[in-house]
C-alpha cells in the first residue's frame, strides 16, 4: 500500500469536509450555532451529581416515566396548623403555601413592627450567578417591608466582576474550597458552601468591597466578618478611607463574627495577617431590620452538595443570621445528562432538603423548579424533552419534604417559552436557550416574588379569619404530620 498516497487522500477528505462545513454554515439556520462563548476556565463540575448519575440513572428498578400522570389528580389536603389551613390542591397545581406559614408569620410580624427582621437564604446555580433573579426578589421585599443591605457575600466569587449589587476584588493567593468538588474540607464549609484560607505567608492576602448601585444596596451596612474555628489567632486590618482599624481574630467557636464598624460605609479593604490557619467564610451587610436576602449561587451546582453541610456549623450560623426561609433553585445542570428518569435525583434532593431541615430547624423551605430550556430537534429549537420530567420530580420531592414549590417552567409560559424569551425584542434570555439575561432575570425575580406574595396575602386573610373567631373547617384526615394525600375515587 502506498502510505504517501493514503496520507494525501486522507488530508484531501478532511480539507473538503472543512470547506463544506464553512459553506453550509452560511445557509443553515443561525440557531444551530450558538452565539455565546463558553469560558471553560469558569466551568465547575458538581462531583456529587456525576456520582449520582453514574450510580443510579440507569437503575432498572426505577420507572422510566418518573412521576405518573395520575398523581396530577391526587388531592392534597392540609391539616390545620395553629388555626391556619390553606385550601386543598392537586399535585398538578401544587404550591405548598401551607409549608411557608412560619415564614409568612414572620412577614406579618414585620409588617406590624418594622424594627423586626426577616432573612432569606437563596441557594442556586448559574441561573442566579451575579445576583441575577435574587437581587430582584430582594428589591421587591425591601421595597415593601423595608431593609437595606445586600446580605452575606463570599470572599471570592466567579461572578465578582459582573455583580452589580456589590463590587468586590481580592488578592489571588486565597485558598478556596467549595462543596461542589470537595467532600472533606480541611475545615467545615460556611453557610455559603465555601471556606477560604488567607495564604499570607509570602504575600498580603486581602479582599475589598464597595457598595453597588442597586436600590437599597448603595451602602455597606454594619459590615461583619464571619470566620471559623482554629488553634491559632490572627489579625485583620480594616482600611476605611484614610483610617486603619487593626482587630484580632479569636477563632474559639465553630462560627465567630467580627464587626468592622457600626453604621453604613461605602467601601473598605481587609488585610489578613498571620491568619493562614483560620477558616474565613465571608462578610455580611445589613441594617438590622426589614428583609435581607443572601445569594448563595454556585455555577455547576445540582443542589446535591447541600447534603454534606455540617449541621452544627449551620446551626451556629443560624444563631447569628436567623433565617426564616431557605430557597433552593436548581435544575439547570441536571438537564444535561440525557435522561428523563429523575428518581435518582429525587432521592438525592430529599436527602439534601432533610439536611437543610436538620441544619436550620423550623425554617420554611421553598423549591424552585427548572425553567424552560430549548434544544434543537429537526433544525428547530423546542422545549427539551427532559424539562417536564425534571420539573415533576422537583415538585414531587417538594411535596414529600413538605416544602413550598414554584413551578418556574409554567410561570414563564410553559412549552416553547424559552424560544419566545430569546426571540422577542428586546430579548429576555441568551442564545444558549438556557439562561436569562438581566432583563429576563428581573422578570423572573418579579414572578417569583409575586407568587410568594400571593401566598402571603392568602395567609393574612386566613389569619384574620382565625383571629376574628371564624372556625376552621373540620380536618378530614387528622395525622401527626401536616398533610394527607387523598386519591380520586377513579384512581382507587
Rounded to whole angstroms, how far apart are CA atoms 204 and 238?
13
Q: What fold characterizes domain 32-147+288-485?
A: Rossmann fold (3.40.50)
pLDDT for res 59: 52
Nearest to 323 by CA among 111, 121, 148: 121
**Domain boundary assignment for the chain:** 32-147+288-485, 153-287
For the cut 90, the answer to whether the pLDDT of residue 134 exceeds it is yes
- The per-residue pLDDT for range 203-238, each reduced to its tens digit, is 899 999 999 999 999 999 999 999 999 999 999 999
Global confidence as pTM: 0.85
3-state SS, one letter per residue, for the chain: CCHHHHHHHHHHHHHHHHHHHHHHHCCCCHHHCCCCCCCHHHCCCCHHHHHHHHHHCCCCCCCCCCCCHHHHHCEEEECCECCECCCCEECCCCCCHHHHHHHHHHHHHHHHCCCCEEEEEEEECHHHHHHCCHHHHHHHHHHHHCCCCCEEEECCCCCCCCCCCEEEEECCCEEEEECCCCCCCCCCCCCCCEEEEECCCCCCEEEEEEECCCCCCCCEECCEEEEECCCCCEEEEEEECCEEEEEEECCCCCEEEEECCCCEECEEEEEEECCCCCCEEEEEECCCCEEEEEEEECCCCCCHHHHHCCHHHHHHHHHHHCCCEEEEECCCCHHHHCCCCCHHHHHHHHHHHHHHHHHCCCCEEEEECCCCCEEEECCEEEECCCHHHHHHHHHHHHHHCCCEEECHHHHCCCCCHHHHHHHCCCCCECCCCCCECHHHHHHHHHHHHHHHHHHHHHHHHHHHHHHCCCCCCCCCCCCCCCEEEECCHHHC
Note the pLDDT tens digit of each residue in 64-117.
Answer: 444 445 456 778 999 999 899 999 999 999 999 999 999 999 999 999 999 999
> Going by CATH, does the domain composed of 153-287 fall within 2.60.120?
yes
Contact between residue 102 and residue 326 where contact means Cβ atoms under 8 Å apart: no
Calculate Rg over the CA atoms of the chain.
25
**For the chain, percent of residues with pLDDT exceeding 70:** 80
- pLDDT of 489 over the 80 cut: no
> Maximum Cα–Cα distance for the chain, whole Å?
97
Instruction: Give me the pLDDT at residue 285, please.
Output: 98
* 266, 220 Cβ separation under 8 angstroms: yes
Same fold, 32-147+288-485 and 153-287: no
Tell me the pLDDT tens digit for each residue of 254-288. 999 999 999 999 999 999 999 999 999 999 999 99
Amino acid at each position: 500500500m502506498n502510505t504517501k498516497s493514503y496520507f494525501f487522500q486522507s488530508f484531501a477528505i478532511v480539507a473538503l469536509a472543512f470547506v463544506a462545513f464553512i459553506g453550509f454554515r452560511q445557509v443553515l439556520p443561525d440557531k444551530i450555532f450558538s452565539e455565546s462563548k463558553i469560558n471553560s476556565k469558569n466551568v465547575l463540575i458538581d462531583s456529587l451529581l456525576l456520582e449520582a448519575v453514574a450510580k443510579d440513572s440507569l437503575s432498572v428498578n426505577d420507572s422510566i416515566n418518573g412521576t405518573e400522570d395520575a398523581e396530577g389528580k391526587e388531592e392534597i389536603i392540609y391539616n390545620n396548623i395553629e388555626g391556619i389551613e390553606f385550601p386543598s390542591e392537586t399535585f398538578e397545581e401544587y404550591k405548598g403555601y401551607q409549608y411557608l406559614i412560619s415564614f409568612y408569620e414572620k412577614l406579618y410580624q414585620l409588617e406590624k413592627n418594622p424594627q423586626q427582621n426577616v432573612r432569606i437564604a437563596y441557594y442556586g446555580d448559574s441561573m442566579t450567578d451575579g445576583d441575577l433573579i435574587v437581587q430582584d426578589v430582594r428589591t421587591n421585599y425591601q421595597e415593601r417591608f423595608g431593609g437595606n443591605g445586600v446580605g452575606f457575600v463570599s470572599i471570592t466569587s466567579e461572578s465578582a466582576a459582573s455583580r452589580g449589587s456589590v463590587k468586590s476584588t481580592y488578592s489571588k493567593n486565597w485558598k478556596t474550597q467549595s462543596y461542589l468538588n470537595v467532600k472533606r474540607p480541611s475545615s467545615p464549609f460556611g453557610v455559603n458552601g465555601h471556606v477560604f484560607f488567607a495564604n499570607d505567608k509570602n504575600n498580603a492576602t486581602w479582599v475589598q468591597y464597595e457598595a453597588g448601585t442597586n436600590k437599597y444596596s448603595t451602602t455597606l451596612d454594619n459590615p461583619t466578618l464571619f470566620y471559623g474555628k482554629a488553634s491559632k489567632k490572627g489579625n485583620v486590618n480594616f482600611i476605611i478611607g484614610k483610617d486603619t482599624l487593626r482587630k484580632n481574630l479569636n477563632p474559639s467557636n465553630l462560627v465567630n463574627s467580627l464587626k468592622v464598624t457600626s453604621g453604613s460605609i461605602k467601601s473598605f479593604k481587609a488585610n489578613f495577617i498571620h491568619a493562614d490557619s483560620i477558616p474565613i467564610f465571608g462578610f455580611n451587610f445589613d441594617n438590622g431590620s426589614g428583609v435581607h436576602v443572601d445569594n448563595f449561587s454556585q455555577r455547576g451546582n445540582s443542589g446535591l452538595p447541600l447534603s454534606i453541610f455540617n449541621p452544627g456549623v449551620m446551626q451556629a450560623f443560624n444563631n447569628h443570621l436567623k433565617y426564616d426561609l431557605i430557597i433552593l433553585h436548581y435544575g439547570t445542570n441536571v438537564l444535561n445528562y440525557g435522561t428523563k428518569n429523575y428518581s435518582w435525583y429525587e432521592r438525592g434532593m430529599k436527602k439534601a432538603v432533610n439536611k437543610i431541615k436538620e441544619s436550620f430547624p423550623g425554617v420554611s423551605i421553598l423549591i424552585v423548579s427548572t425553567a424552560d430550556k430549548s434544544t434543537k430537534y429537526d433544525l428547530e429549537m423546542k422545549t427539551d424533552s427532559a424539562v417536564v420530567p425534571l420539573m415533576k420530580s422537583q415538585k414531587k420531592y417538594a411535596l414529600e419534604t413538605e416544602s413550598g414549590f414554584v413551578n418556574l417552567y409554567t410561570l414563564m409560559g410553559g412549552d416553547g417559552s424559552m424560544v419566545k424569551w430569546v426571540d422577542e425584542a428586546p430579548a429576555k434570555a441568551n442564545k444558549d436557550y438556557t439562561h436569562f439575561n438581566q432583563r429576563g432575570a428581573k422578570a423572573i425575580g418579579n414572578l417569583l416574588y409575586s407568587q410568594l406574595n400571593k401566598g402571603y396575602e392568602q395567609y393574612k386573610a386566613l389569619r384574620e379569619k382565625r383571629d376574628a373567631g371564624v372556625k376552621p373547617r373540620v380536618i378530614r384526615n387528622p395525622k401527626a404530620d401536616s398533610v394527607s394525600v387523598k386519591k380520586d375515587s377513579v384512581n382507587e
